[in-house]
Structure 1
């Protein structure tokens, strides 16, 4: 039954009416999107249907040179913070850039169609979904292709083009907005969209439902440093979200494939937004040379990293001896276009937003508000859900334990805002919790940018490559096909 549920969800998403043909048509030849049903169909495509996981993960400090003799070209390029030269291949930087702007185009067309129908209240849920979806794709683009958000420099830092209208011509030249402008546009779309989003879907976890929208908004406001917003958005979770976080204990008695299926299952309470991505992410963590390895596993998953000094629930496996390791999260469904020739497309259900991230955002916001007692209780609760032998009468988290485990290292964590020594220790603890929970999902890269962490990547028989603070390579280079249309390149 578990196999059936996830496969059916994927089939629904990739076989439903697609508007890609509509977007590729000349504007004068396009079919009118003039009914609520057509708008709903259009919004199915308002989500990036490609994956950024491999890109962001490989740039982070989660991966090392495992020593495997071969790897994909993009794997090594991402590891060295270089532009992907195989620009049209699946899972490349350019592939994800295009996927985001395609999703934005669908959202914009839906918004235009709603307006042309007179913006009736009956279409407010679709309006809300389109606005949040548009904000999300732009947020992912600016997070990957621009410098980190810093209000002191955001008005001059290069952002990405923020597109708010459907294209009326096949070839349109766009200029880059500043990071400040992009963030202002995102915030406007989020605030307006939150007024209208709903849970009224047959499969709400494949749409920006209410909680998914709030979770995304909390991520945005965490980056922006608006702690009050993060906390208010997560009030429904509370300080003890019983039954709402990932139930890692339920993974202990099932096999690897079932764990992969379970991770992105729409029945999992923690999963707030799932997308069916055209990706081979389920394969690359088994075979990429630059990956999580048995060598660096202890510093991330070892019991010494647990605030209670106990083993975690996380299950790690190897498909090639003890060289590279993976956490089973991604189950590939291969949709054949020609069974005889073995031709088709791989799809993986990916969790883009979850209560686990939502709750960690809340804890960090409490820390930054100086509410250490509250944050401490929440961090203890979160850690307990990841610790099989947690004993509530003995495993009591204290500020002294957090400070001792995560001491302040001068000039290590340097966000745009200031932190006290105690805040720094707690933020480090939360960042490490986020690092473990979202292994393979690229989340660590966004913390590296946000906190301006230095990353060192060593490669056998080559000089060590070091990503210093404020290194220009923290912003991906604009894809070649985009820069060829006039979009300004990032400095190098």
Structure 2
């Protein structure tokens, strides 16, 4: 799909073999979506089937120039230069834009069907899932294609079109909602969705189950700055985190093929929401010039970035003689569309929400509420899972250690809200843990935007390029096919 709008007839263009039985080309002829089973089938596709991880990661300060001219992928180069992708294929910016609005279309159709059936009690869990899925896709869109949220300017800042109902015409025209409007819609969808979501799925980790919904809500509220709500939502996890965070130690005994499969598997307690995205991301570590490099890896995942000056508790593998390095996280499943011609699509299991992120969001909220003793305890717990040879007798998180390890640098972390010097050191420490824990997963870009972090990208034999704090390129340019259909472009 290369249009912002998703009409009911165009839903057929999405690969939904099970839904083909009740979606047809014209509204007058289609089978009614009038049972819980049909609504549930529709919601399977209310999650983006594209991936943001490659372009988000490449824009961040986790990626460097390998200097290998034999590797050249246009999207990779454009992402590294903070440019709009010219291509609209798999893993591109435009592909993810379309994937999000496709997901929203399915969520809205499900919500419409539930309303037409009178919203009976037995459909409330499906309504909750649809609301959370709609909010998630819109949140990801506004995160990438708008400036960072700032309540002081939100009424005039450009958001993205927040689509609340299925489309009834082929070429629907949309205006961009303001950031204030988008965040109000997001909060409404999230809070209502939280009331209804349940865990009654045969495969709950492929749906917005209760914990996934709470984790996503905390991602939203740390951006909005509602620390009390983050703490409230994460109380259950905080009360008993044992065994719920990622067990990196167990991965070390696994062979490579098992390790990349297990990372994104539903059997892992930390994984709350998983999707099988159409993506070639697993291949990018062997094909892209701009990657985490052996020469610069210590700046991101070296022992000096650990609070206790110890190695992190995962294996970093190398390719082409340490020119590029990576943490094994992604396993591609290749599905043939034409076996005789050897043609098909790659799919990668990707973790969209996890207990690790959920827990770190809580720690950040505790810091912002000046509950430093609780933050220390929680930070020590997650570091115990991430640190090689962790010793609880000596590896103790204290205010003095954090302030010494992460001194305040003037004008470095600049969110829209004020930070004390102590909070600045703590936030920097938390951001570093998040940076390491989610290496390759694009999460670092979220922190770069909301904290206003400057990014420098070196290019071999060329001047360093800089993404300054207020650089307009922090908001991706609206895809060409969407702006051609009337969506206002971002200023440049």
Contact in 2 for aligned 1:18/1:45 (Cα 8 Å): no
> What is the match of residue 193 of structure 1?
193
Quote how far apart the aligned CAs of 1:285 are.
2.0
Contact in 2 for aligned 1:227/1:366 (Cα 8 Å): yes
> What is the match of residue 374 of structure 1?
374
Contact in 1 for aligned 2:107/2:130 (Cα 8 Å): yes
> What is the match of residue 65 of structure 2?
65
Residue correspondence of structure 1 range 346-385 to structure 2 within 5 A: 346-385=346-385
Report how many aligned residue pairs link the two structures.
478
Residue correspondence of structure 1 range 409-428 to structure 2 within 5 A: 409-428=409-428
> What is the match of residue 465 of structure 1?
465
> What is the match of residue 6 of structure 1?
none
Give distance in 2, aligned partners of 1:16 and 1:170. 20
Quote how far apart the aligned CAs of 1:396 are.
1.5
Quote how far apart the aligned CAs of 1:278 are.
0.3
Structure 2: unaligned runs, 5 residues or longer: 1-13
Residue correspondence of structure 1 range 392-471 to structure 2 within 5 A: 392-471=392-471
1:88-109 deviation per Cα after TM superposition (whole angstroms, max 9, x unaligned): x111011000000000000000
Change in 2 beyond 3 A, CA 1:459/1:204: same
SS in 2 for 1:464: strand
Quote how far apart the aligned CAs of 1:480 are.
0.3
Contact in 2 for aligned 1:286/1:318 (Cα 8 Å): no
> What is the match of residue 206 of structure 1?
206
> What is the match of residue 4 of structure 1?
none
SS in 1 for 2:431: helix
Segments of 4+ moved more than 6 angstroms: 20-24
> What is the match of residue 106 of structure 1?
106
User: Is residue 80 of structure 1 aligned with residue 81 of structure 2?
Assistant: yes
> What is the match of residue 11 of structure 1?
none
Change in 2 beyond 3 A, CA 1:427/1:264: same
Give distance in 2, aligned partners of 1:280 and 1:60. 19
Contact in 1 for aligned 2:24/2:31 (Cα 8 Å): no
SS in 2 for 1:351: strand
SS in 2 for 1:350: strand
> What is the match of residue 263 of structure 1?
263
SS in 2 for 1:458: strand
Quote how far apart the aligned CAs of 1:138 are.
0.1
Quote how far apart the aligned CAs of 1:310 are.
1.4
Worse-superposed segment, 461-470 or 128-137: 461-470
Quote how far apart the aligned CAs of 1:463 are.
2.5
User: Is residue 489 of structure 1 aligned with residue 489 of structure 2?
Assistant: yes
Quote how far apart the aligned CAs of 1:462 are.
2.4
SS in 2 for 1:272: strand
Query: TM-score normalized by structure 1?
Result: 0.95
Give distance in 1, aligned partners of 2:359 and 2:208. 18
Query: TM-score normalized by structure 2?
Result: 0.95
Contact in 1 for aligned 2:249/2:314 (Cα 8 Å): no
Structure 1: unaligned runs, 5 residues or longer: 1-13
Quote how far apart the aligned CAs of 1:27 are.
3.5
> What is the match of residue 5 of structure 2?
none
1:157-215 deviation per Cα after TM superposition (whole angstroms, max 9, x unaligned): 10000000001011111000011100100000000000000000000000000000000
